[in-house]
Chains A and B, each alone.
Chain A
């Protein structure tokens, strides 16, 4: 019993952590840079398909199946999504915020269309199966297998988190926030807003691609309907719930929202007769939609709110007793969403 419980817990957390990686990617784009990406599902799909193509065994029905190691697949997935985001960003990043939203929404539609119709590449509606799973040779011991998979995801999330925290505190991260808060001022200081935005967009997209690859190898099978707009929506809910602009918020939000999602799915399968479950699943989506609107209305900063990140030089100043600069400086970097 308890073994099953641990197994389920590990499975749940692994899944939640793949979402946490996507949310971390979105936090680079939206939380730190203010780029409104409504095409998350598309970038995740690119990563998943790229990794699947690189690592699956040869398949006469489509291109590739190169049988490469999983690590190569993950890196390839992240790179492919990053390059795709760079190209899409180069086209659209100068647009007004809501035009960017519409354009990225279109990207997701097109990516899903390609996944569905380019059968020679993606397997079409049937998707790609037999994606190698990490530690497959240990599948005989389900508990060990799922714990090891969880460990990989924990390590990946931790590494991504540490990298992003470091970047957020670096001069690069501060320029991003400066551009988000006051583009004119940043331009006046000689920072090319477009260039920095594009870098952040590509980095965030690459992280989403990495998450897509991780998910694909964890589940072992991908198909176009994994990457419907619902995915985009869930990740947005995760970041907003946790607190955008905050990497820990992204992870917390992912685990929390995925928990509510999985829990409500369980409740539905327990409460409704099998014939009514498709209907009840629609109700589950209604709930997520209402919850997101409610959070935007009542707590737009999320649970943790934006983390105040100031230069470590300012931190040194504040350590001195009579330093006057810090309160104003912190005020200046606080959340803009409510203004």
Chain B
């Protein structure tokens, strides 16, 4: 087996993990499977693309590559802007759709179905605005550096791994060490009771959307850096995201990240062993296996 599998798995897995953390948070606190989460990833990538393009046209110097990376300062600045804008987009969708459905006390399934509708709307809007042709943050080609042991990686890949690690640690600390994190865990345990004891449930829901959409934007930007930006990109990630968040155990941030890596490795392995055309089936196999063997996931508790 080619040791490069480890690098491919890590890179794909950290991207899946970032998205899965967002899915697992929205799932545990809003209590429905958000089929539109993949579209938040695509929107994050395109928002960053638009901002980076704008910055590049304002100040051409921002597009000259930084050090060994393929992109200029325009991309990291745009990524931060995309995190904020994507958070705003998620809040807007919640205000327009999910919040209203919650107030009508709709069943979970109605929420899931609405997220299905939101997903289609969001994806097709991207296709309308940006067309379905692939786009790139930078046309610069990167040479993969040998890291020893037969493994190669580009500086962009290493950077995205680093960013994912830092973010997951940060979210984990936020959940376990801060007041808002404790509130979030309380709401995920029991929304009614936490409302009674004076936790602002609406505030918590807003934070969850901001966090989930922000992480999705970062996942979108790294996916855009490493592969390409297409309106379908987030939708194609949806099944791996669900597989990772269920495998990790709903609500567990470290679980989602580790499970993301497991799904990423499985995909990389499958690409080597049976061929790239079956990559999308891997997440399904993982998903079915988890649901049958350990539906509460690796780090979850039985319900």
A interface vs B, CB < 8 Å? 34, 36, 38, 91-92, 95, 97-99, 101-103, 105-107, 109-110, 113, 116-117, 229-230, 233, 236, 240, 278-280, 282-283, 285-286, 288-290, 292-293, 296-297, 300, 336-339
Contacts and interface: CB of A to CB of B under 8 A. Distances in A.
B32 interface: yes
Contact of B116 (A233, A297, A337): A233
Interface stretch (B66-74, B124-132, B208-216, B259-267): B124-132
A233 B283 contact: no
Given A116-B277, A292-B113, A99 B291 contact: yes
Contact of A106 (B120, B127, B239, B277): B239
Contacts of B107: 336-337, 339
Contacts of B287: 102-103, 106
Interface string B218-241: 000000000000000001001100
A327 to B, nearest CB: 24
A101 B295 CA distance: 14
Contacts of B112: 36, 98, 101
Of the four ranges (under 10, 10 to 19, 20 to 34, 35 or more), the interface on chain B belongs to 35 or more
Contacts of A290: 117, 121
B239 A293 contact: no
A300 B109 CA distance: 12
B284 A106 contact: yes
A292 B128 CA distance: 19
Q: Is the interface of B mostly helix, strand, loop or mixed?
A: helix
Given A106-B287, A296-B110, A289 B117 contact: yes
Interface of B: 32-33, 35, 97, 100-101, 104-110, 112-114, 116-125, 127-128, 131-132, 235, 238-239, 242, 246, 277-278, 280-281, 283-284, 287-288, 291-292, 295
B120 A98 contact: no
B242 A285 contact: no
Contacts of B122: 289
Given A110-B280, A117-B277, A240-B113, 17 more contacts: A34-B109, A38-B116, A91-B288, A98-B33, A98-B109, A99-B33, A99-B295, A101-B33, A101-B109, A103-B287, A113-B277, A279-B127, A279-B131, A285-B121, A285-B124, A296-B110, A296-B117
Contacts of A278: 131-132
Interface centre among B104, B118, B124, B281 (most CB of A within 10 A): B124
Contact of A233 (B110, B120, B292): B120
